[in-house]
Structure 1
Amino acid sequence: MTEPRILLGEEALLQQLPALLHSRGKQRVLLAGGPHFLQSGAGGALRAALGPLLAIERSAPTGLLQASSLKTEAQQLSKGIDAVVAVGGGRSIDYAKALMYYASLAPDFFAAVPTTAGSGSDATSFAVVYEGVEKLSLAHPALLPNVVVWDETLLTGLPQRQRAISGLDALVQCLESLWSLRGTPASRALAWEAGSWLWKQLPYFVETPTSERAIGALYAAHYSGRAINISRTTGPHALSYYLTAVHNIDHGHAVALLLPVFLRYNAASDAIDAVLELLGAADAESAVQGWQRYLHELGVESSLSALGIVPSAVGDWLNHVNGERFANNPVPLDAVRLGRLLHQTLFV
């Protein structure tokens, strides 16, 4: 994996990024981002900083990123784009990647500017979109950003819950990468480094988001993305998309809810050992209890019952397991056993 050019600090977005675009001779920039950022003062400042380089601006739609709509939008992009700048959370950066994928755009300048520290989409070569409620993964080498901008001031104003849920997304990615069947020594090293920081430091970042902690969270989220770019994700992600698509649960919260289910589901596999070590747990049950305490400390619900979802939802849920992601899980799919563990763990 080629290392991206990382621009760091408060001057990274408005000074270093435009200067780098000029130095690389770029003339037509596609700016794609989340509506919250684009409508903010920071969004206006970025437009001004890009000046005549800004050729096209696109705002991510609300709701799920639907493949059919994205294909239409991509076909309407004008020709000659020689650089892409994607700004926002993981979903917004995925939006930019989807436009690139469906428009067959592969510029040699693709900058990702994360405004949350969670998905690691600034370090992956894939994007998540949907057909109805079914998740699709778009993958192409051109979707891997080669410029990453970390401006910690974009994170410090986020609500506490957003910081928590984004950080949980990154942490679960690390834990899944540790037990993934596609894991390698490199992916496990990346996951261990990022996951160790998040497990210890995320509560402090959620409570008091200092500049130093914000940079640490961006770093950890990026490394979680690099880890899953190799290993891909597993069981928790395979079941999470349904919760987001049908029950409108934020993705980071969905995977955090599902981790204890898979601590139990994967308990007999040796692949879980590194996860237990990182969490400081002697066995799977201790890890489940510790994880649920961790969510409570972060102010995040640890059961679906607390979110008003009833056990009868499990039957339909099991009809929407993402097989591509579950194939990386160390224990194969046993729908009956998995259903029992979903009831046991998430409906209390």
Structure 2
Amino acid sequence: MIYSFSTARVVFGIGARAGVATHAAHLGKRCLLVTGSRAARCDWLLGNLREVMDEVASVAISGEPETAFISAQAEAARRAGCDVVVAIGGGSVIDAGKALAALAANTGDLFDYLEVVGRGAPLEHDPLPMIAVPTTAGTGAEVTANAVLLSPAHGVKASLRAPGLIPSLAIVDPELAVSLPPRQTAASGMDALAQLMESFVSHAASPLTDPLCRDGLTRAARSLRIAVQDGADLRARSDMALAALFSGMALANAKLGAVHGFAAPLGAMLGAAHGEICAALLPHVMEANIRNLRRSAPRHPALARYDEVGRMLTGTEGAAATEGVEFVRALCRDLGVRGLAALGLTEGLMEDVVEKAARASSMHGNPIVLARDELLGILREAMGEGASFS
């Protein structure tokens, strides 16, 4: 076998945020700063950038980055002559930054490059250099090679994907997540957990991604509850920041699975938080995969990996796959994960969800092909009501 691995340059640690502007000044002189909707929270960074840049333009992302908005902002960035992008925020903000870095350097229509609902053509030119600064611990977008965008016209999220979309630099400061409320901490942490697990059991897993998944799963299992209960616990925040970072590195090189295959259409159709959707699905996808592997491919290596997941999550040497499923179920109960019904899914939408999920790029990484009835079964199992994230 021949393996490959690509990732960003990473600066990790408490206080690392202080160096963002200095690093950006080495990459360009006309900066586009991409923030979340509460841009004032990043005034410290805007001030630092203005001290070292010739010009600083800014754009705030509210909710999911939509195709029309990104296209318009990319044109504005080109007119302003931006030559470096800094994105600080959650996964949606970083995805927007990556898409803007790509489109500012390429003059084709966005749908020329977007996969699934577009042509999926390669970029003609490398994206602008970009620095990603995550303020949540979930998507790992700071080190992935795609940018997830919402296309309202198609009712789906789709990726702009290219090797050059991996940021030039990821600056990960766990302290930036201290103010993240419990609900967002839980949702983003469950996304990281799902990504680590799906990358670990994916048919594209490799000896280069396995150690990241093993370490990340262990950290998430011991620290997610703590980070939700006590957001100021820096050990737990550091564990979750590393788990998210490792999940991004792993998925960029080993693919995902059915959880994220479903999450793409569900996120667009329901408008619910990506991490909440992943959390509602994860134990049911695990159960369906394990059941189908045991029935149709009992020697499949993913079964042994699910057993290992059980041991890593529980910390019990003799644990197996079923114990891993129960650990995730208990974690979901402790965090107050809501079922898909509470997030807005109805029986009438399920056929459309299954059809779109089957075409999603993430579904191709699942360790076994799940039939239509299995996919419908997962959705029905994941409907169960629950309390909201506390």
> Normalized against structure 1, the TM-score is what?
0.89
User: Partner of 1:164: helix, strand, or coil?
Assistant: helix
Preserved CA contact (<8 Å) 2:8 2:170? no
* Among candidates 202, 208, 224, match of residue 224 of structure 2: 202
Measured in 2, the distance between the counterparts of 1:199 and 1:206 equals 12
Which residue pairs with 1:234 in the alignment?
257
Measured in 2, the distance between the counterparts of 1:7 and 1:345 equals 36
Percent identity between matched residues is 28
User: After the TM superposition, which residues 50-199 of structure 1 pair with which residues of structure 2 at under 5 Å, given as runs?
Assistant: 50-52=49-51, 53=53, 54-60=55-61, 62-77=62-77, 78=79, 80-104=81-105, 106=126, 109-132=129-152, 133-199=155-221
User: After the TM superposition, which residues 244-323 of structure 1 pair with which residues of structure 2 at under 5 Å, given as runs?
Assistant: 244-267=267-290, 268-269=292-293, 270=300, 271-280=302-311, 282=319, 284-301=321-338, 303-307=339-343, 309-321=345-357, 322-323=359-360
CA shift, 1:74, in A, is 0.9
Preserved CA contact (<8 Å) 2:132 2:142? yes
Preserved CA contact (<8 Å) 2:131 2:170? yes
Stretches of structure 2 that go unaligned for 5 or more consecutive residues are: 1-5, 107-125, 294-299, 386-390
User: Partner of 1:6: helix, strand, or coil?
Assistant: strand
The letter of the residue matching 1:339 is L
Measured in 2, the distance between the counterparts of 1:309 and 1:221 equals 27
User: Partner of 1:135: helix, strand, or coil?
Assistant: strand
User: Partner of 1:258: helix, strand, or coil?
Assistant: helix
Preserved CA contact (<8 Å) 1:83 1:107? no
Measured in 2, the distance between the counterparts of 1:168 and 1:283 equals 21
User: Partner of 1:186: helix, strand, or coil?
Assistant: coil
Measured in 2, the distance between the counterparts of 1:25 and 1:317 equals 42
Is the aligned partner of 1:6 residue 2:11?
Answer: yes
Measured in 2, the distance between the counterparts of 1:115 and 1:263 equals 29
Offset from partner CA, 1:182-211 (integer Å, 9 cap, x none): 221111221111111101211112112312
CA shift, 1:243, in A, is 2.1
Measured in 1, the distance between the counterparts of 2:381 and 2:177 equals 36
CA 324–108 in structure 1, closer or farther in 2 if over 3 Å, else same: closer
Measured in 2, the distance between the counterparts of 1:255 and 1:244 equals 10
Which residue pairs with 2:21 in the alignment?
18
Measured in 2, the distance between the counterparts of 1:339 and 1:226 equals 30
Preserved CA contact (<8 Å) 1:168 1:253? yes
CA shift, 1:264, in A, is 2.3
Aligned length: 340
User: Partner of 1:178: helix, strand, or coil?
Assistant: helix
Measured in 1, the distance between the counterparts of 2:263 and 2:93 equals 18
CA 25–251 in structure 1, closer or farther in 2 if over 3 Å, else same: closer
* Among candidates 351, 362, 377, match of residue 325 of structure 1: 362
CA shift, 1:220, in A, is 1.5
User: Partner of 2:256: helix, strand, or coil?
Assistant: coil
Measured in 1, the distance between the counterparts of 2:352 and 2:346 equals 12
Measured in 2, the distance between the counterparts of 1:117 and 1:275 equals 24
Measured in 1, the distance between the counterparts of 2:228 and 2:21 equals 31
Preserved CA contact (<8 Å) 1:161 1:300? no
Preserved CA contact (<8 Å) 1:84 1:107? no
Measured in 1, the distance between the counterparts of 2:349 and 2:306 equals 29
Measured in 2, the distance between the counterparts of 1:148 and 1:305 equals 36
Preserved CA contact (<8 Å) 1:81 1:107? no
Measured in 1, the distance between the counterparts of 2:285 and 2:44 equals 44
Preserved CA contact (<8 Å) 1:118 1:166? yes
CA 347–310 in structure 1, closer or farther in 2 if over 3 Å, else same: farther
Preserved CA contact (<8 Å) 1:101 1:140? no
CA shift, 1:285, in A, is 4.6
Which residue pairs with 2:115 in the alignment?
none
> Normalized against structure 2, the TM-score is what?
0.80
Preserved CA contact (<8 Å) 2:131 2:167? yes
Preserved CA contact (<8 Å) 1:196 1:278? no
The letter of the residue matching 1:125 is A
